[in-house]
């Protein structure tokens, strides 16, 4: 009976984490056609950085980072790989529906604040151009992250949570930051090479800073999950 309750808890936890993972990943892809400036400045290895120019799609990624870490830790590399493939399929499905919606002309009412056909297609049309780069970058980064996380854990055991969490992110997000912008924005002509060379490293640096700043939350997440599953804590 006790084992059955534990299995049910693991199943419900996976459903909740998977739902949050998919929602944030799909949302990030849909909103990534908007550039923003983050008014932060500082020094990185002696070089002045900032203010940062990046895509708004970075907004949901802290949640994706955190959930990826928890899934890697408690459900393993295979679960992350399978969920990543499913999420990639759902992203493609989402863009398919968006493309279909764009092919249907908007019924425009004078004075209405609803989107006109031109405005709607301008926003979501750019999102369509990002689909190949987005899915490619997402899959490469997630599979690489799961692999590196597993390799680091094999070497360190249950110690050094911060190392496998941040270490796996360093390389996987380097791939993600450059692939998605190049295929999704530069190749279709939506972004110049000079802008790309400005935004891509900024996007990567921001993701790394986010990953590092999330370290306390990673430990909190591990503690809460272990407590929920009735497991002993580790550091």
Say what the pLDDT of residue 197 is: 84
pLDDT digits (tens, 9 = 90+) for 69-112: 999 999 999 999 999 999 999 999 988 898 899 889 888 888 78
Structural contact between residues 166 and 212, judged by C-beta atoms closer than 8 angstroms: yes
Considering only 163-172, 175-184, 208-217, which range has the smallest mean pLDDT? 175-184
**Which residues in the chain belong to E strands, given as ranges?**
35-38, 42-44, 47-49, 52-55
DSSP 190: S
Largest separation between any pair of C-alpha atoms in the chain? 65
Averaged pLDDT of the chain:
83
User: CB neighbours (10 Å) of residue 82?
Assistant: 12
CATH number of the domain residue 90 falls in:
1.10.1760
234 falls within a domain: no
Higher-pLDDT residue of 55 and 212 is 212
235 falls within a domain: no
| Chain mean position to CA 11 | 23
pTM exceeding 0.85 = no
Residue 145's Cβ-side half-sphere holds a number of Cα atoms within 13 Å equal to 30
pLDDT digits (tens, 9 = 90+) for 8-33: 899 999 999 999 999 999 998 888 77
Question: If you average pLDDT over residues 50-54, what whole number do you get?
Answer: 73
Range of the domain at 87: 2-229
Question: If you average pLDDT over residues 174-199, what whole number do you get?
Answer: 78
Q: Would you state the structure tokens that stand for residue 223, as one six-digit string?
A: 């503690």
Residue 40's Cβ-side half-sphere holds a number of Cα atoms within 13 Å equal to 11
- Structural domain tally of the chain? 1
């Amino acid at each position: 009976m006790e084992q059955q309750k534990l299995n049910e808890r693991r199943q419900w936890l996976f459903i909740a984490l998977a739902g949050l993972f998919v929602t944030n990943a799909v949302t990030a892809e849909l909103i990534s056609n908007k550039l923003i400036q983050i008014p932060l400045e500082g020094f990185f290895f002696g070089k002045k950085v900032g203010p940062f120019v990046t895509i708004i799609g970075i907004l949901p990624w802290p949640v994706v980072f955190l959930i990826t870490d928890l899934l890697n830790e408690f459900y393993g590399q295979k679960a992350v790989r399978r969920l990543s493939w499913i999420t990639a399929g759902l992203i493609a499905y989402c863009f398919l529906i968006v493309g279909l919606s764009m092919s249907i002309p908007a019924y425009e009412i004078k004075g209405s604040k609803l989107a006109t056909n031109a405005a709607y297609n301008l926003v979501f049309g750019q999102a369509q151009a990002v689909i190949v780069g987005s899915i490619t970058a997402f899959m490469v980064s997630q599979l690489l992250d799961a692999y590196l996380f597993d390799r680091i854990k094999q070497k360190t055991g249950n110690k050094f949570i911060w190392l496998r969490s941040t270490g796996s992110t360093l390389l996987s997000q380097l791939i993600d930051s450059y692939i998605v912008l190049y295929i999704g924005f530069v190749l279709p002509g939506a972004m110049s090479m000079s802008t790309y060379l400005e935004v891509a490293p900024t996007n990567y640096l921001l993701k790394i800073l986010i990953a590092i700043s999330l370290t306390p939350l990673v430990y909190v997440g591990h503690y809460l999950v272990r407590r929920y599953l009735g497991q002993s804590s580790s550091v």
